[in-house]
Amino acid sequence: MSPEPHSMLPPVRLPSDAELARDALFAPLFARAVRLARWAGPGTRVDIGGELVAAQLPEAAAVLGLDPADADGPALASQAWRVAVDTGLVDVTEPEEDGGEQSGTAAPGEDLALVTGGTPGEVLDLWLAALDTVLADAAVPDLDGLVDALDAGGEVDFDQLDWNPQREADFLDGVLANLYLLTAAGHGASDSPVPLPVLAASMVIPEDMGEPTDAVLEQVSDAMMRLDDQFRQLEPIGLVEFRPVDEALMQEADDEEPAADPVAGAAAGGLDDEDVSRYGMVRLTPLGLYGIRARMLEAGVRAPAVGELADKGADALLDAVCAYPEGAAQAEMEQWLKGREPSAAAAELLAAARGSDEGGPLRRLRCQQALAPAGPEAEPAVRAVLDDPELGGLARVWLAERGVTGVPTPDAAMVFWLTIDTIAAQLAADGETAELPLLIESLTAHHAGFFDQAWRSAHPATAYVLEAMGRLHPDRKAAKEARKAAFKARSRRH
């Protein structure tokens, strides 16, 4: 299903607008639309709706270097013309319906100049308009039965056709949202295409369903074939790279048994790479990632991109990256540091890391990660917080990692505070991972009677962290001591 408005997706990495605009101009369908817009002139004739008259389609196909005698040539020319009209690359004057002119006229539109003279953002706006047209076309099923579905008044009987335009558009939006999510899981940098059955299954099989029934698998197979047709239409606009379903596979299915079992195996990842690729493979291009993100933003979905916080303050940066996966958080913080004076940037990050709220530990962890690559220029700002009860431990770690001498030894209160803050941050970042018990054991091993003293710490997460240590500490005796300390800490707060 499509993400809910105001939900937040993982951040993605996008090329620059200039690179994306170049990709848009080279997308085959958009490039054809531009060529036809330049061809349009006094001799160009259009029908109602701005479509090229049938007699001009062979000439338009030839302009595009397509074979006018091949049925695909005029069809591709018609599609490119429709994109040119819808994006404003072509201006049309439709024929009058009252018996006046038999055909309308067309001419290059004002927006055509943006192709070569506009900013990258303006080119991308044209491409997004073209994408809307292509998505609308892709949501229309094969209408071989359209004539049979016409009622006596010449209107389409959608009930007989079994086609609900909104349902079809929502289905395609949902598919693209799922593909975006799968891509975003790799921060937009994944080179792994998604098998078509997996994408189809994500739209058909309920999350709480165990073994899919034969009826559900048949729906997956039908959805897969729908997607095969739709992605064939979406590839020329540059949205996806697509390997279609192997036609020989479909012939095998017709000649033998229905392909439900192989579809189930492909959807579950049970086939090898060569076998699963026969069922179709798809991935969003960088331009496609940009396009789907733009549509999601317009729908109110929070879909961040790495680098968009570069001009924000450190408080906004740390708050945002606390919700990011670690790799994306690190990339965002590196972008933020570029061009900033190191000492001032370090001071701003440290100030933003303070706070006794629930998000404080993870903010300080992200601050520590942001400062990790900083050089000696940041040292004055770090030294300035050595006496800060919340940041002093972090500062000492940073200085020790650089071999700085003469750093004052922390008192016991700061040691316990830093230990609890570190574990609270890890719990907030990743939850109870398999590595966390080892971290807990390492942090407590160097402190005799750790739990006898830790419960007295003024850190607001003391009881919460000690309870977690009681669950996770690999030593049973230490785990029991942690649980007792957690009880004392909680009693102390009340």
pLDDT tens-digit map of 258-285: 444 555 555 555 555 566 778 889 999 9
Higher pLDDT, 305 or 214: 305
Is 27:36 a contact under the CB 8 Å cutoff?
Answer: no
Q: What is the mean pLDDT of residues 37-65?
A: 93
% of the chain surpassing 90 pLDDT: 62
Residue type, 365: L
Is 288:242 a contact under the CB 8 Å cutoff?
Answer: no
Strand order in the sheet with 281-284: 194-195, 281-284, 240-243
Task: Report the C-alpha gap between 480 and 451 in whole angstroms.
Answer: 10
Q: What is the mean pLDDT of residues 235-250?
A: 87
Provide the pLDDT for residue 309: 94
Helix (H, G, I), strand (E, B) or coil at 93: strand
pLDDT at residue 235 greater than cutoff 90: yes
Provide the pLDDT for residue 277: 77
Q: Against a cut of 0.85, is the pTM above it? A: no
Higher pLDDT, 343 or 247: 343
**DSSP category for residue 108:** E
Is 243:193 a contact under the CB 8 Å cutoff?
Answer: yes
Task: Report the C-alpha gap between 135 and 173 in whole angstroms.
Answer: 9
Provide the pLDDT for residue 260: 44
Q: What is the mean pLDDT of residues 337-357?
A: 95
Provide the pLDDT for residue 159: 59
Provide the pLDDT for residue 167: 83
Helix (H, G, I), strand (E, B) or coil at 45: strand
Question: Across all residues in the chain, what is the average pLDDT?
Answer: 87
**Tokens 């020319």 sit on residue:** 77
> Using 50, 70 and 90 to split pLDDT, how confident is the model at 1?
very low
Backbone φ/ψ region at 283: left (φ over 0), alpha (ψ -120 to 50), beta: beta
Q: What is the mean pLDDT of residues 55-62?
A: 94
Q: Which of 385, 378, 370 is nearest to 343 (CA)?
A: 378
> Using 50, 70 and 90 to split pLDDT, how confident is the model at 251?
low
% of the chain surpassing 70 pLDDT: 85
Q: CB count, 10 Å around CB of 378?
A: 23
Q: What is the mean pLDDT of residues 284-299?
A: 95
Q: Give pLDDT tens digits for 99-153.
A: 556 788 999 999 999 999 999 999 999 999 999 999 999 988 665 544 454 455 5
Q: What is the mean pLDDT of residues 402-406?
A: 89
pLDDT at residue 288 greater than cutoff 60: yes
pLDDT at residue 157 greater than cutoff 50: yes
Least confident of 20-24, 144-148, 234-238, 487-491: 144-148
